[in-house]
Structure 1
């Protein structure tokens, strides 16, 4: 069985790599077309073709993360259909490769794809995406959102803080920061504004700071308004760079652990974390979709093919992969709107396609 396992694994890995490279080339071409417009628009700021190519290269891990399950499905369908057409799979079955053993063989390979997808999506893609944002920010300006920027909340002992960030470079540097401080009763205690700020371990280094505090005069019980200016001021906080990025960017660009911490931060400050909980569970279940794709492809090895039919079945695989991606997005948005259970919302597409795959496997293989 080692020889059979090496044969199947080698064929599938080669086919998946070929499909992934083809998809990546297509996506990189589309990115290049978009970036050529950016080069023409921001040429005066120094954004040249080499910077555009660097940006495109840094987007490759994100594209690979999105395309890997689909590539696994198409590559595996191609291999299974080709082996069935050439009767090689029939020979393997005669040699002792029963359906259950074939399923286990594919699932073993699937574990490797699951691990690869998780590493790319949780470590490589977020890092590369931050570097890509840094390249853009260097020549085209920092990240911004709307007219008011991003808002974050934090509670420190008996004080509450509402933080507004207008722009962020995706790494650690911010511009136009406003920090509103309130007491337990919701009364405003002060407003701190900073033209720039850098995020370090457990604190923000505010620069060019204007600090305004509100208090009561002891003698007259009237409001006292005090204004101070500082070149630099340190503000201790648990709001990290990833949390700021989450408020400015889509949560799918965050790492799983950072998503979990941000969910807890939102919950502890009485903010709605439904969207981030769904994304957290989606990132947990998404790598497992590679296993679903392999199970979905296995029944193709038990079909009887004529010449020229492989392309048609590969096309069906493409449609199945696209429908899985669409179903994932539909469940994500509907689950957020309807307040469905986050883990069930994220797991439902994989569970549905797993049931379909196993039903097809049972009907076409075991029942026959």
Structure 2
């Protein structure tokens, strides 16, 4: 069995690698063609366009690995069937369960690669790609609101720890690719939701440790007791104190990473970042469904490799006379595309119908696994 395992691993691994490289070359070509129209704008040169396309390739590795595992496995197993090698293996007491076990052990490598790319490589390369293009073209991050980006923060008694004593709303006009903020307005409320201060600043930069430095701004503080007792315009004026500053610190739970999430696709974030941001949203009573679904998809997606390889196993039972290798490869491509479409469709359906996040993420893989089991039972009977 060790000899067979090595033979399966070599043939399937080589086929999957070939399919993956072919897909990457195809998508890189399409991306480069799409970037040609942007070359020459600002400092965006052909070299930087090539860097941008190259930084996008890890994302394709993550997305295409299950499909590459499916098509590569179909190719290798179809070759076994065409050369009658699989028939000889079965005659030598290799059962379907044994063949499936060998595919599982091979799939572990592909699943691990998928996990590593999705968790550690893609979140960084996608950010680097966006920053490369934005810095070259002099662009800034924008949001869907004309007034800029809005986010909510909790004011605590001891910086970012301790009990909650108020709420802070931050309005940012511009978020630079390096994480600096421009055009800030910060509204602070106490636990009774009374406005206590309004802070404006021209610029803010992050110092680390949840601490920002605000530059060139002012702070207007509203005395709640004085405002309640005001009976004239003069009393109102005296109840509001305004102080200008060149720079001042601000301790906040909001970090550049959290702000950048507002412009990033959840699918490009790591599971740890998704967990952290989902917790942040929950603590501030904001909608978390989209990020919960993305989190569970991130956890479940590497296991799709096993589902795709299970779908490939029935092709080993189909001899060459039952259909050419090209037809089998085409069938594999259609199965892979269908899986990606259904996986994306379920994510949207789950969000619209408020399905449980775990069920939304796992249902496509479960359905295709059932199809794989049904196909195996059918080919064994026939």
Q: Specify if TM > 0.5.
A: yes
Query: By how many angstroms is 1:109 displaced?
Result: 1.2
Aligned to 1:148: 147
Partner of 1:121: 118
* Residue deviations 1:171-225 (CA, integer Å, cap 9, x gap): 5333333322112222222222333323322222223333232224749534433
**Distance change in 2, residues 1:205/1:137 (3 Å):** farther
- Of 284, 287, 311, the residue aligned with 1:296 is 311
Cα RMSD for the two superposed structures: 1.8
Once residues 177 and 118 of structure 1 are traced to their aligned partners in structure 2, the CA distance between those partners, rounded to angstroms, is: 38
1:188 and 2:188 aligned: no
For the structure 1 residues 93 and 311, does the alpha-carbon distance in structure 2 shift closer, same or farther, using more than 3 Å as the test?
same
TM-score by length of 2: 0.90
How many equivalent pairs are there? Answer: 364
Which one of 349, 361, 365 corresponds to residue 364 of structure 2?
A: 349
1: CA distance between counterparts of 2:322 and 2:369? Answer: 30
Equivalent in the alignment of 1:246: 261
Match of 1:55 in 2: 52
- Decide whether the 8 Å contact of 2:167 with 2:189 is kept in 1: yes
Give, in angstroms, the shift of residue 231 of structure 1: 2.6
Contact 1:117–1:287 (8 Å) recurs in 2: yes
- Kept in 1, the 8 Å contact 2:56–2:125? The answer is yes
**Deviating more after overlay: 30-39 vs 304-313:** 304-313
* 2:165 aligned partner: 158
Residues 129-164 of structure 1: per-residue CA shift (max 9 Å, x gap): 111122122122121112233322122221101122
Are positions 1:361 and 2:368 aligned together? no
Which residue of 2 is the match for residue 316 of structure 1? 331
The question of whether the paired residues in 1 share the 8 Å contact of 2:201 and 2:218 is answered with yes
Match of 1:66 in 2: 63
Residue 174 of structure 2: aligned partner: 167
- Confirm whether residue 225 of structure 1 aligns to residue 232 of structure 2: no
1:209 and 1:111 mapped to 2: Cα distance? Answer: 55
Moved over 6 A (4+): none
Q: Pick closer, same or farther for the CA change 1:171–1:129 going to 2, 3 Å.
A: farther
Contact preservation (8 Å) 1:77, 1:300: yes
TM-score (norm 1): 0.94
Task: Tell me the residue number matched to 2:85.
Answer: 88
Which residue pairs with 1:38 in the alignment?
Answer: 38
C-alpha separation between the residues in 1 aligned to 2:82 and 2:200?
Answer: 70
User: Match of 1:158, SS?
Assistant: strand
Question: Is 1:111 aligned with 2:119?
Answer: no
Rounded Cα–Cα distance in structure 2 between residues aligned with 1:15 and 1:176: 53
Q: CA deviation at 1:62?
A: 0.9
Deviates more, 1:169-178 or 1:268-277: 169-178
CA distance in 2, matches of 1:31, 1:132: 12
User: Is the CA contact 2:196–2:224 (under 8 Å) kept in the aligned structure 1?
Assistant: no
Q: Which has the larger radius of gyration?
A: 2
CA-to-partner distance for each residue in 1:248-300, whole Å, 9 max, x for gaps? 22211211011111111111111110111111101011111011001010110
Match among 192, 195, 203 for residue 211 of structure 2 = 203
Question: Which string of whole-angstrom CA distances, capped at 9 and with x for unpartnered residues, describes residues 32-78 of structure 1?
Answer: 112111113x1xx2111111111111111111111111111111111
Q: CA deviation at 1:318?
A: 0.6
